[in-house]
Amino acid sequence: MLPTFVIGLREGLEAALIVGIIAAFLAQQGRRDALRQVWIGVSIAVALCIVIGVALRLISQELPQQGQEGLETVVGALAVVMVTYMVLWMAKHSRGLKKELEGAAAGALAQGSTMALVGMAFLAVLREGFETAVFLLALTQASGNATLSFLGAVLGIVVAAAIGYGIYKGGVRLNLSRFFRITGIVLVIVAAGLVMSTLHTAHEAHWIAFGQQPALDLSWLVVQGTPLYSLFSGVLGVQPHPTVIEVTGWLVYAVPMLAYVLWPRTATKKKLIGATNP
């Protein structure tokens, strides 16, 4: 539940930030007509994301066992690529996100194009929603508990939507750099677990045959049916007997990514976001 909550919060907040900043900017400019179009675009994007998520789930259930393992491998690899790009991009751009978006919005209005703003909001929600659907499918397949995974994601999205609404109304000030660094650490650990799970399912699908020697014996710690099993297997992707390739994959991914996220970045001015701090 915790990984999907963080994913729902992180992905939802990225979309909510973009939509909230655009909506607040349009409200300040008195463009209620364009604001209505933005909300329509957001609603369509949300509906499309739900359809995509349901379709992915149904397709995975209809496949034979080996086909399911193959699909899990593809979805897991895609989720790792997405979370990696998201963490790297936000680590670089979080400080100046508000200024960049308001500049783009002002430029669109100056050219008399409100559809560009609608497109920005639509694509932001569609992109983050698609990534969320892929993450949820990958984590659900790894943990096996669809209900808790779904509940965690919904709670995260609700919190993100509340923050986005607060930004729109002008009552929320958020240190983006600190927020995305903390959630970035959590997501790197989750993604490293997905790397292990993806390598495991790739072997089950008969795509990888090397590196299958047992590397560790964690059966004394990762005992099926216990809370620790849910934590290690569902959240961290660790099996009772991880193989050499799984441990290697975890280390190769987690160590450089954590080093990048934790590396101190200098800034001349702390960036806070919110309509009360335009």
pLDDT of residue 108: 67
Which phi and psi (to 5°) does residue 221 adopt? -105, -45
Enter the DSSP assignment of 231.
I
pLDDT tens, residue order, the chain (278 aa): 666 777 777 677 777 777 777 777 777 767 777 778 888 888 888 888 888 878 877 877 776 777 777 877 888 888 888 778 877 877 776 666 666 666 766 776 666 666 777 777 787 778 777 777 777 777 666 555 566 667 777 788 888 888 777 766 665 666 667 777 777 787 788 788 889 888 988 888 889 888 889 888 887 777 766 666 666 765 566 777 889 999 999 999 999 999 988 887 655 444 444 444 44
Query: Are 261 and 184 within 8 A, CB to CB?
Result: yes
Burial class (CB in 10 A: 0-12, 13-18, 19+), 178: exposed
Residue 184 structural domain:
2-273
Residue with tokens 């790297």, as numbered in its chain: 88
Pair of tokens at residue 4: 């999907």
Domain total of the chain: 1
**Closest by Cα among 119, 203, 170 to 278:** 170
Is the torsion defined by CA of 108, 111, 114, 116 positive or negative?
A: negative
Query: Are 73 and 202 within 8 A, CB to CB?
Result: yes
pLDDT of residue 154: 79
pLDDT of residue 114: 67
pLDDT of residue 273: 44
| Residue 155, domain member (yes or no) | yes
pLDDT of residue 268: 40
pLDDT of residue 157: 81
pLDDT of residue 245: 93
pLDDT of residue 248: 93
| Residue 278, domain member (yes or no) | no
pLDDT of residue 269: 41
Q: How far is CA 108 from CA 35, 102, 104, in A?
A: 14, 10, 6
